[in-house]
Amino acid sequence: MTSIALFNNKGGVGKTTLTYHLAHMIQRLGLSVLAVDLDPQANLTSMCLEETEIEELWENPSELIDQGAAAAGLPGAGRVRSGQTIADAVRPILEGTGDIATVEPARLQPGLWLLPGSLDLSRFEDKLSNEWSRAYAGDIAAVRTSTSFHRIIEQATRSVEAEVVLIDVGPNLGAINRAALISADTVLMPLAADLFSLKGLSNLGPTLRQWRADWQGLVLPRVPPNISAPRADMRPLGYVIMQPEMRLDRPVKAYERWLQRIPRVYSSAVLDESPPSRADDRHRIATLRNYRSLMPLAHDARKPMFDLRAADGALGSTQQYVKTCFKEFRALAQEVLTRIGESPAESHRSSSADRRE
């Protein structure tokens, strides 16, 4: 199993959309995937589940059902059960009543699961922040708190036998993201070609190195053998350029100027290496064009953009756009799997028979 955190210190670059579509495409290539929503805004959860499912998951009364806009179902009979979010998993630690609780991932389709998020997760921020320095001294409660996300993901991964874990995190360098990122084997960075993304890279690289050094040097040696702890590898996997709303073959001058600076900033700030030449973009995994016109259709159809059909409103020339979207995300997923050492073809041959329903 390999875990990949998708992270950028700058928001609004399409990180959650990328996580959602990458999860579906990797599953399409034959590997089992667990998507983990560690963003307190829970945007990935809202993309994956119907509103009535989220209401049940968060144990809220369903206004849609009360208003007759959605049919009522038997509690626990669908894809989700109430109280099965990451916020519920850490609640015993937050309230001082025990260790992490076991939560059940939501099965979205064969080979694809979601470990749902919740707005309540934001309450865990202060707890994680306060316990971080205490973990340096080997305080057992602090270690349990700091390793909670790792252990929740580990339990969920084992329960569904996931081969790839994608972790969606918020756009900040706070305590929740620190605990989320030290749980990741690798980090994939979605970027826009602008000043804000480059500044985000400049902040992100040194911060990740500091977190790694602190965890591996000060905390990990003091973790008792009965507590599972991450190694905090956080190996930079590369970056994905998220194209703005313009033609890919005719970028404006401002876009091109920022695009040329990304390899140098990534190498120096994130990898702590000597800056490469402008032409050296070996760390760029893909450039994805803007598919914003497909997003409303995909949202209404509750499916990835590359799965849209004529019945979903993808008519005429839009169908060609859908095909292009499929090709780009397939190429992206294949490159990501190559970089983490997975073979989609071999995995598909060995496991597709087991997942067929």
Summary mean pLDDT of the chain? 87
Q: Which residue bears the tokens 């208003």?
A: 67
pLDDT in tens, 233-249: 999 999 999 877 655 44
Confidence class of residue 100 from pLDDT cuts 50, 70 and 90?
very high
Q: Higher-confidence residue: 9 or 207?
A: 207
The CATH homologous superfamily for domain 2-293 is: P-loop containing nucleotide triphosphate hydrolases (3.40.50.300)
Packing angle of the helix pair 86-95, 148-160 (nearest 10 deg): 140
Q: What is the mean pLDDT of residues 105-129?
A: 96
How big is the chain by its Cα radius of gyration, in Å? 21
**286: phi then psi, degrees, rounded to nearest 5:** -165, 160
SS3 35: strand
Instruction: Supply the pLDDT for residue 194.
Output: 85
Task: Give the integer Cα–Cα distance in Å for 250 and 44.
Answer: 32
Task: Give the integer Cα–Cα distance in Å for 188 and 8.
Answer: 9
Q: Higher-confidence residue: 126 or 10?
A: 126
* Beta strands, E only, 206-341: 235-242, 284-288
| Cβ(176)–Cβ(170) below 8 Å | yes
Q: How far is CA 72 from CA 78, 82, 140, in A?
A: 11, 15, 45
pLDDT in tens, 31-71: 999 999 999 999 999 999 998 899 889 986 444 334 444 44
Task: Give the integer Cα–Cα distance in Å for 18 and 314.
Answer: 20
pLDDT in tens, 248-300: 445 567 778 888 889 989 999 999 987 766 667 889 999 998 887 899 999 99
Instruction: Supply the pLDDT for residue 277.
Output: 61
What are the extents of the domains in the chain?
A: 2-293
For residue 188, list its beta bridge partners: 6, 238
Instruction: Kindly state the percentage of the chain with pLDDT values over 90.
Output: 67
Nearest to 128 by CA among 194, 207, 68, 182: 182
Instruction: Supply the pLDDT for residue 342.
Output: 85
Which amino acid, 134?
Answer: R
Instruction: Supply the pLDDT for residue 74.
Output: 40
DSSP class of 81: -
Instruction: Supply the pLDDT for residue 60.
Output: 61
